């Protein structure tokens, strides 16, 4: 945990457990879509309810060595359980498909709880049915940690040189680097023109025009991890040297080709 923790909380209120159960699955589906768009492979994991509920809760666990939880899971199906409640262990047969259970660390990025009537009864939260009879409201609680998600993305998507942001969450689409000369050179003017046109087209661009060595600029570009790095230098001429952050080779393309490539992804 950090000193500061941001959470997206959601609560639902229902007239019956059946209605809660249906909505619970709806939220699980929505959370799965969110995490898939973030390109995170999160396992829906059974967990203890703690002080909140007597039922199982569910966590979305991203398997990673840095995770603080231990997860037992099946590689052949979608069964997974937090070690805190597990009655099985690594090497046992999966209770769902009989394959071998595996063990890994996991980072919890979201969770869903069926609170039932515990809090509605404590606070006297009731509703009137069609006969005028009062019943406790049935509740559910759901949450995603945006700040924890960012940390998880960095843990999962990085190499020895720095971050490798997935395109869906990258702070910029392209990292523009001008190499050679000061801000009054032809290279700098070309780079500024390209930056201006990219911005005009609604493409988010980070422009490094600092008066430092080429090696430092390129190292910083890898460290920050924007999906595309575009270099303008005397060697590139009218072309642009483009390289994906997760690839080792670069290619020369025209400004028009760059615009087309980035606008498709914008």
Name the region of 234 (left: φ>0; alpha: ψ -120 to 50; beta: rest): alpha
Q: Given CA atoms 189, 251, 230, 219 in this order, what sign does their dihedral have?
A: negative
Cα distance between the two ends of the chain? 33
Residue given tokens 């609560």 in the structure block: 11
User: 227-262: per-residue pLDDT in tens?
Assistant: 999 999 999 999 999 999 999 999 999 999 999 999
How far from the centroid of its chain's Cα atoms is residue 250's Cα? 27
Task: Locate 78 and state its tokens.
Answer: 């979608």
CA–CA distances in Å: residue 5 to residues 57, 97, 149, 248, 253: 21, 38, 11, 36, 42
Kindly provide the b/e burial profile for residues 69-99, where b requires at least 16 CB atoms within 10 angstroms of the residue's own CB.
bebbbbeeeebbbbbeebeeeeeeebeeeee
Helix, coil or strand: residue 168: coil
User: 145-167: per-residue pLDDT in tens?
Assistant: 898 899 999 999 999 999 999 99
CA–CA distances in Å: residue 142 to residues 93, 109, 139, 149: 31, 11, 10, 15
Give mean pLDDT, residues 73-89: 94
Contact 206, 172 (CB under 8 A): yes
| pTM, two decimal places | 0.87
User: 59-79: per-residue pLDDT in tens?
Assistant: 999 999 999 999 999 999 999
CA–CA distances in Å: residue 225 to residues 161, 162, 208, 255: 9, 6, 13, 22
């Amino acid at each position: 945990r950090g000193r500061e923790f941001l959470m997206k909380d959601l609560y639902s209120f229902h007239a019956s457990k059946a209605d809660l159960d249906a909505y619970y699955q709806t939220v699980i589906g929505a959370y799965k879509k969110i995490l898939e768009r973030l390109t995170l492979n999160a396992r829906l994991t059974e967990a203890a309810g703690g002080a909140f509920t007597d039922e199982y809760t569910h966590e979305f666990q991203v398997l990673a060595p840095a995770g603080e939880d231990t997860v037992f899971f099946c590689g052949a199906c979608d069964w997974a359980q937090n070690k805190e409640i597990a009655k099985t262990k690594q090497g046992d047969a999966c209770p769902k498909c009989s394959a071998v259970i595996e063990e890994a660390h996991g980072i919890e990025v979201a969770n869903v709880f069926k609170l039932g009537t515990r809090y509605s009864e404590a606070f006297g939260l009731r509703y009137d049915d069609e006969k005028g009879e009062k019943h406790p409201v049935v509740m559910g609680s759901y949450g995603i940690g945006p700040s924890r998600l960012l940390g998880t993305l960095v843990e999962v998507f990085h190499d020895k040189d720095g971050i490798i942001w997935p395109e869906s969450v990258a702070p910029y689409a392209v990292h523009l680097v001008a190499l050679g000369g000061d801000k009054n050179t032809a290279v700098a003017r070309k780079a500024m023109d390209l930056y201006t046109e990219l911005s005009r087209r609604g493409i988010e661009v980070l422009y490094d025009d600092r008066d430092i060595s080429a090696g430092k600029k390129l190292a910083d570009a890898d460290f920050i991890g924007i999906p595309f790095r575009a270099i303008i230098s005397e060697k590139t001429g009218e072309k642009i040297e483009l390289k994906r952050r997760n690839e080792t080779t670069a290619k020369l393309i025209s400004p028009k080709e760059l615009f087309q490539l980035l606008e498709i992804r914008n």
